[in-house]
Structure 1
Amino acid sequence: MCEQQFLVFKTVAESKNITLAAKKLHMSQPSISLQIQNLEDHYGARLLDRTNKGVTLTRAGQVFYDNVCKILDMLHEAREQVNALGEDKRSEVYLGATLTIGEYVLPHLLAYLYRVRPDIDFKVKIANTEVISQDVLEKNIHIGFIEGPIPPNRDLKIESFWQDELVVVIPYHHPWAERDSISLAELPQERMIVREVGSGTRKVMELALEEQGFDPSLLNITMELGSTQAIKQVVSAGLGMTVLSALTVRRECDQRVFKALRIQDAPVYRPLNILTHAQTAQTKDERYLIDLVHNRKLLSEVISMDYCAMDGLGAVSGWTSVKKADRVVRGAGSGDSSGAIPG
């Protein structure tokens, strides 16, 4: 049996739908069905039960699926090890990150790695938590950095690497700017600028406030905007205050554009997480990056130091290729977002 047939079977089993699997693999449905039929004929067992609603694994199919996953992981690891032996072979690490991390953490991290590990090329995709999680599952990216929670999945390993504090952000000329904190009870006293309903940033804010016993409906919301940057512009103009990640306003606070006030009743935090495939071993270069991110002291220094200004790296978006050899950073756009990691 060839690796392609194993991959087709695994994708169908996980999608539970031949049409979805065909789209993911960029294959026709008849080709998918033929490969599944060839597998069943070869092993002399029915691997999938087919219904109008989709497909499910039979008992034999579940056993076969578990072993196929192991085989594909072993083949992936074998390729990584063989590639590492090649002369002048540069390592590639595919990363995915949600927006806040992609804008305010990853550029500093990549600029630092640009200096200390010039032998690694990083390719970065910025997307929401759901997309990044799916890409890790499908092994389109090696390491994901996410802000939001994800449903439990035995094939995903999630590790917290940073506790991101949510702070109340006001203009530096605001009467409260002489203070360092604010109570939850004071929040309704000022106009509040927030993200639109349904955005991940707003959900995180509302959930965090609810966990502290505060009803978000009590906020005096006067404006809803579609981006964090737009909110920052409106707040700096003195049209209200907002609740944002401390990471997103660090520079403006240093420049005395904003003042960040901690919530004094109980500081509100949200975890920033590393997401990896639980059934796949990391390469030494992937492990290097994970260990670096877990080093809180070093990561704090990396974020505080303006490596981006030193090396000309800014926020990344879409697929971005960070090339160390020729000192070039280029965006590849969103068209490549569905491509799997090259073997």
Structure 2
Amino acid sequence: MELRQLRYFLAVAQHKNFTRAAQAIHLSQPSLSIQIQALEEELGAPLFHRLGRQVALTEAGMVLYDYARRALRDLDQAKDAIREINGAERGQLTIGVLSTVNTYLIPPVVARFRHQFPHLTIHIYAQPSRAIEQDLLDNQLDLGLCLLPTSSPRLITKRLFNETLCLVGPPTARPLGTRAKMSTLANLPLVLMPTDYCLRSMIETSCAHVGIRPNVSIEMTAPEGILEVVARGAGWTILPELYVRHANKGMSLQVVRLYDPVPRHAVGFASLAHRYLGPSAHAFMALCHTALEDIQANRDFPAAESCAS
């Protein structure tokens, strides 16, 4: 079995069509078919159902798909590690980031990172926390910036800061003032993320501490969409304060600090245990600390609880 055959196999699996896969990898369609057939003969099982012009993975193909993807990802990681050892700041860094944190923290980090590593390709994916964890476990990410603690012992973590949530309301709603108790939520129609999001679970836990259930009238996955709906008067929401302060420019939303209890959670870095993290990954984490300090120094509301690097 050759590595090129695995790359060809993954291309066909991705495109579900031999012709499109051949075009994507710059190989003739007959040559691609011959390589896939040779791979199937070596493994002793068909990898694709041939369905006219379309193909679909067989059970054997689905098994090989996961192993092939991890194997090629490990190989790419090994190449990056060797390049960094040799002082060549090339290769790539793939990072999953919470959607809210991605909005206000990552742009200045990426700009500085680019100056430090001009020849390295960085991929940033805005994702829910659980998706970041899963992609780390699947070896699809080098690093994650997610909610802590994580659920898997296979991940190692390092806290960056404690993020405080706040209540956000329409500009036209009756003002609640600058502070409100968590119990106030019982009387408000809320626009929240779905129940499978960690942020939603944390909100429900905080409500349970004061004996109430959030009155959820709308569920949405995108935080920017939630704020837009709230701005149009459809309800109130609870989101990270740093994100809200950044996104609220020009929207005139009510921002209310919650207490009794103060809803907050830890945000930090996660990576797969025993996975090599080179100088570029460590530089990215250091730049996140620096950018967070800059954000704290230039805003007019209480600083988040950052953690020393």
Q: Normalising TM by the smaller chain, what interval?
A: 0.5 to 0.7
* CA 129–231 in structure 1, closer or farther in 2 if over 3 Å, else same: closer
Quote how far apart the aligned CAs of 1:133 are: 2.4
Map 1:203-218 → 2, pairs under 5 A: 203-210=201-208, 213-217=209-213
Residues 1:24 and 2:66 are matched in the alignment = yes
CA deviations over 1:150-193 (Å, ceiling 9, x no partner): 3232x32112212111111113444326x221012322233322
* CA 171–207 in structure 1, closer or farther in 2 if over 3 Å, else same: same
Cα RMSD after superposing both structures? 3.7
1:230 & 1:257 partners in 2: Cα distance?
Answer: 16
8 Å Cα contact 1:253-1:259 kept in structure 2 = no
Map 1:66-85 → 2, pairs under 5 A: 79-84=79-84
- Select 2:219's aligned residue among 182, 202, 224: 224
Per the alignment, residue 48 of structure 1 pairs with none
Quote how far apart the aligned CAs of 1:281 are: 3.5
2:64 & 2:238 partners in 1: Cα distance?
Answer: 43
* CA 286–249 in structure 1, closer or farther in 2 if over 3 Å, else same: same
CA deviations over 1:250-300 (Å, ceiling 9, x no partner): 13444352122111223211111211122133211211112233x3x6424
TM-score, normalised with respect to structure 2: 0.64
- Select 2:273's aligned residue among 271, 278, 288: 278
Per the alignment, residue 234 of structure 2 pairs with 239
Residues 1:248 and 2:290 are matched in the alignment = no
Per the alignment, residue 170 of structure 1 pairs with 169
262-271 vs 123-132, greater mean Cα deviation:
123-132
8 Å Cα contact 1:99-1:126 kept in structure 2 = yes
Per the alignment, residue 11 of structure 2 pairs with none
8 Å Cα contact 1:194-1:231 kept in structure 2 = yes
* CA 120–301 in structure 1, closer or farther in 2 if over 3 Å, else same: farther
2:256 & 2:265 partners in 1: Cα distance?
Answer: 16
8 Å Cα contact 1:148-1:200 kept in structure 2 = no
Per the alignment, residue 289 of structure 1 pairs with 284
Quote how far apart the aligned CAs of 1:244 are: 1.2
Higher RCO structure (Cα 8 Å, ≥6 apart): 1
120-129 vs 271-280, greater mean Cα deviation:
120-129
1:267 & 1:97 partners in 2: Cα distance?
Answer: 24
1:223 & 1:202 partners in 2: Cα distance?
Answer: 12
Per the alignment, residue 40 of structure 1 pairs with none
Map 1:1-343 → 2, pairs under 5 A: 21-26=63-68, 79-84=79-84, 90-147=90-147, 149-153=149-153, 155-176=154-175, 179-210=177-208, 213-217=209-213, 219-255=214-250, 257-293=252-288, 295=289, 298-301=291-294
* CA 206–22 in structure 1, closer or farther in 2 if over 3 Å, else same: same
1:76 & 1:224 partners in 2: Cα distance?
Answer: 39
User: Match of 1:159, as an amino acid?
Assistant: K
TM-score, normalised with respect to structure 1: 0.58
Identity %: 17
CA deviations over 1:99-134 (Å, ceiling 9, x no partner): 333344323321332345434321223334344323
* CA 300–23 in structure 1, closer or farther in 2 if over 3 Å, else same: same
Residue aligned with 1:133, SS: helix
8 Å Cα contact 2:147-2:267 kept in structure 1 = yes
8 Å Cα contact 2:231-2:251 kept in structure 1 = no
The unaligned stretches of length 5 or more in structure 1 are 5-16, 28-71, 306-343
* CA 249–83 in structure 1, closer or farther in 2 if over 3 Å, else same: same
1:152 & 1:88 partners in 2: Cα distance?
Answer: 33
* CA 150–265 in structure 1, closer or farther in 2 if over 3 Å, else same: same
State how many pairs are aligned.
Answer: 243
2:191 & 2:131 partners in 1: Cα distance?
Answer: 27
8 Å Cα contact 2:203-2:263 kept in structure 1 = no
82-91 vs 157-166, greater mean Cα deviation:
82-91
